[in-house]
Amino acid sequence: MINIITGSIDSGKTSKMMAIYQFYKTGDGFISFKRKTLNLVESYWATRLATMEERPFIYRDSCAPKDFDSCCHIGPYLVSHATLAWIEAEIRTMIKQQTSPIFLDEIGLLELNNLGFHTIFSDMIASKSEIYVTIRNELVDAVLSKYTITDYRLM
């Protein structure tokens, strides 16, 4: 079953995912917290739920460190190759260990273009694991279609 936490930008999808994880106290996965200065999102930090380990994941291009290892970009944001690889490796281990549920924040335009979490999300779906994922409301239909998801619940 894929549980889709949906809403618009800044509607609390990540907070809701964190609350679900804390309520059930089971499973593992990743959420991404925004870091802002004066209403400007400067970066997102990926946080592993079971350990609360965090790593820089996405930077606004004007705020990125000079040696930032970007692998792709979306709008004004650069995505870290190293952090993406870390998340993918950890989720592959979760799949092998049959961790349930697995949480992933978020699936969006990158994945619809075969970038970002595209490969690991496909692997998660194929594993038949219980999944909690965040998706902006205007992208839900496109994600369902791309990944041929039929067994899901909107939250």
The predicted-structure confidence for 26-73, as pLDDT tens digits, reads as follows 999 999 999 998 888 999 999 999 999 999 999 999 999 999 999 998
Token readout for 128 is 């038949």
Report domain extents, the chain.
2-154
Fold of the domain spanning 2-154:
Rossmann fold (3.40.50)
Residues 102-133 have pLDDT tens digits of 999 999 999 999 999 999 999 999 999 999 99
Nearest to 65 by CA among 48, 76, 78: 78
Give yes or no for a contact between 111 and 89, defined as CB atoms under 8 angstroms apart: no
**Stated pTM of the model:** 0.94
